[in-house]
Amino acid sequence: MIKRMRRMRMIVSLAAAAAMAFSVAAMSVSAATENYIRGDANGDGTVNINDVTVIQRVLADLEKDTGGAVKRSCDLDGKGLDIADATNIQCYLAEFVSSYQIGKTFSFDEYELPFIPVT
């Protein structure tokens, strides 16, 4: 009888551990984020004239914005990637004051999955 109770207790604790592991996994998926440097179109970690060239090439359909990383990192006003974004980055490179926080790292929530409660 005691042996049976120990076995039941073991099964219950294993089930609780499995449920907790599933819950943590679900939370980590829903919290997926990516970090970008605003204005870093080519993703090399710095903002320079090469990033302006990438934006211009994307706008001219000479380069694809695969995955949308250029738009996410360089659409400064949130109204779509356009030549004004390239111009604002050029102004930043010329050390004009910018209100777009070019060169700063920010997070972008790529997707958010619905919360799935553990039953």
75/92 with CB nearer Ca ion: 75
Closest contact distance (angstroms) between CB of 45 and Ca ion is: 7
DSSP the chain: -HHHHHHHHHHHHHHHHHHHHHHHHHHHHHT--EEEETT-TT-SSS-SHHHHHHHHHHHTTSS--GGGHHHHHH-TTSS-S-HHHHHHHHHHHTT---SS-TT-EEEE----PPP----
Residues 45-104 that bind Ca ion (CB under 5 A): 51, 75, 77, 79, 85
Number of residues engaging Ca ion in binding (CB under 5 A): 8
Taking contact as CB under 5 A, which single stretch among the options 21-29, 32-40, 94-102, 107-115 is the one that binds Ca ion?
32-40
Closest contact distance (angstroms) between CB of 59 and Ca ion is: 11
